[in-house]
Chains A and B, each alone.
Chain A
Amino acid sequence: MTTATRYTGTAISLHWLAALLIFATFPLGVYMHELALSPFKLKLISYHKWLGVTIFLLTVARLAWRATHTPPPLPKTIPAWQQRAADGVHLLLYALLLAIPVSGWLMSSAKGIPVVYLGLVQLPDLVDKDKALGDLLAGIHQVLNFGLLALVGMHIAAALKHHFIEHDATLRRMLPFIKGDQP
């Protein structure tokens, strides 16, 4: 039996879809935060929430994939400490991709503005309306996002380093539309 050298199509699709949505949701959050109250702002906030909830669902799907599959091994050339660091970053990324949407959902409940996913499905309020708690959660949401920004930065830098400087298969394991590497 040969071990897979690449992620499955499902894992690759989920990864890049999540990446795309995160790259939309994050700047949208920063941008809308600065806007004065307007119908436009209300719309952007709603879209941001829907995107965020979608990222949460994708993350759950990706964790389900991880629970049922073994990811293709990293190239043997990578030192053990770096492999452990990569695992650690991935774990933290998953944690943040769950915690950030949940903090946003909690914030919405505390601010008294329930989340209606895609304008269709109303999520239950997790906490009662409470202005101070709402402000606190907005701060938590922001801090977690700074963490996400830092980790995604490391994640991308490492992937690019392996691809362009070390010329190993690390990134190719996750790239779509390419033939499998020969061992």
Chain B
Amino acid sequence: MRIPHRYFLPLLLACAPIHSQAAEFNLVQTDKSTLAFAYKQMGVPMEGNFGKFSVRINFDPARVNAAQAQIEVDLASIDTGSNEANDEVAGKQWFNTKMFPSAQFVSTGVKALGGNRYEVLGKLTLKGKAMDVAAPFTFRQEGAAGVFDGAFILKRLDYAIGEGAWTDVSAVANEIQIKFHVVAHAAPAKK
């Protein structure tokens, strides 16, 4: 007997128990999640990360339209790789962490892009400025965990990150790639 092609995927899904029941991933594993960034300084690829941030996610691959995400980043927890630079970016010309200790991202929607690819849209508030951002990401399940990996380019000057002499993008590039890796478990269904 031959199974028509269009039945392959539904059959496969039906056979895999983990997929038979929709699960919402909303218990974020902070210690397994990372928030990193990459940029170019004098043409040299550089990397850093934020040590402290909190993420709230509600994501059910079966109901993407209802998905939500909120991220709050403690800007003073930045590690650029050197103490000198960490002190510098906390200052007025950069994050001005005294006035603006944190950055917030609040999603306005999630789109499925096909396969395991999605895009989250939302508002990023940084240094008193709120702007729309869109970040493509992938979602995959690893055992009980849902793993989100995404990245987007933030133009630092849009948020006045690096003022005065630091607006010189030949020294520190305007484009900062923000990379997030979030691990969340599914809460047991409430219904």
Contact status B166-A119, CB under 8 Å: no
Other-chain contact of A39, B44, B84, B168 (Cβ < 8 Å) = B168
B:94-148 near A, CB below 8 Å: none
A173 within 8 A of B: no
Residues 37-52 of A at the B interface (beta carbon under 8 Å): 37-40, 42-43, 45-46
A42 touches B41 (CB 8 A): yes
Encode contact with B along A78-96: 1 for CB under 8 Å, 0 otherwise. Answer: 0000000000000000000
Q: Which of B62-114 contact A (CB under 8 A)?
A: 81-82, 84-85, 88
Taking a contact as CB atoms under 8 Å apart, the answer to whether B85 and A37 are in contact is: yes
User: Does A30 belong to the interface (CB within 8 Å)?
Assistant: no
Specify which chain A residues have a CB less than 8 angstroms from the CB of B170 in the assembled complex. Answer: 39, 43
Nearest CB in chain B: distance from A44 CB, A: 10
The residue on B at minimum CB distance from A112 is B81
* A162 located at the interface, meaning its Cβ lies under 8 Å from any Cβ of chain B in the complex: no
CA distance in complex: A8, B165 (Å): 48
Q: Which A16-65 residues sit within 8 Å CB-CB of chain B? A: 37-40, 42-43, 45-46
Q: How many residue pairs between the two chains, A and B, have CB atoms under 8 Å in the bound complex?
A: 46
Q: Pick the residue among B44, B88, B165 that contacts A113 (CB under 8 A).
A: B44
B14 at interface by CB-CB < 8 Å: no
Q: Does B187 contact A (CB under 8 A)?
A: no
Chain B residues with Cβ below 8 Å from A112 are 46-47, 81-82
Q: Is A172 an interface residue (CB 8 A)?
A: no
CB-defined contacts of A40 to chain B, threshold 8 Å: 165, 171
Query: Nearest chain A CB to B82's CB is how many angstroms away?
Result: 7
The verdict on A114 contacting chain B, using a C-beta distance below 8 Å, is yes
- CB within 8 Å of A: which of B137-191? 165-166, 168, 170-172
Which residues on A sit within 8 Å (CB–CB) of B17? none
Q: Is the CB of A39 within 8 A of B165?
A: yes
Partner of A42, one of B42, B47, B81: B42
CB of B43 within 8 Å of the partner chain? yes
Instruction: Assess whether B166 is in contact with A111, with CB atoms less than 8 Å apart.
Output: no
Q: Is A129 close to B, CB under 8 A?
A: yes
Counting CB contacts under 8 A, is A116 at the interface?
yes
Report yes or no: B88 in contact with A42, Cβ–Cβ below 8 A: no
* C-alpha spacing A119/B42, complex, angstroms: 7
Measured CB to CB, the closest approach of chain B to A175, in angstroms, equals 37
> How far, in whole Å, are A129 and B168 apart by their CA atoms in the complex?
27
User: Chain B residues in contact with chain A, CB under 8 A?
Assistant: 41-47, 81-82, 84-85, 88, 165-166, 168, 170-172
Q: What is the interface of chain A, defined by CB distance below 8 A to chain B?
A: 37-40, 42-43, 45-46, 111-116, 119-120, 122, 129
**Known contacts A39-B171, A111-B82, A114-B44; can you find 17 more A-B pairs with CB under 8 A?**
A37-B85, A39-B172, A42-B41, A42-B171, A43-B171, A45-B42, A46-B42, A46-B43, A46-B44, A112-B46, A112-B47, A113-B41, A113-B44, A115-B44, A119-B43, A120-B43, A122-B44
Sample (21) of A-B pairs whose CB atoms are under 8 Å apart: A37-B84, A39-B165, A39-B166, A39-B168, A42-B42, A43-B42, A45-B42, A46-B42, A46-B43, A111-B81, A112-B47, A112-B81, A113-B41, A114-B45, A115-B44, A116-B42, A116-B43, A119-B43, A122-B44, A122-B45, A129-B81
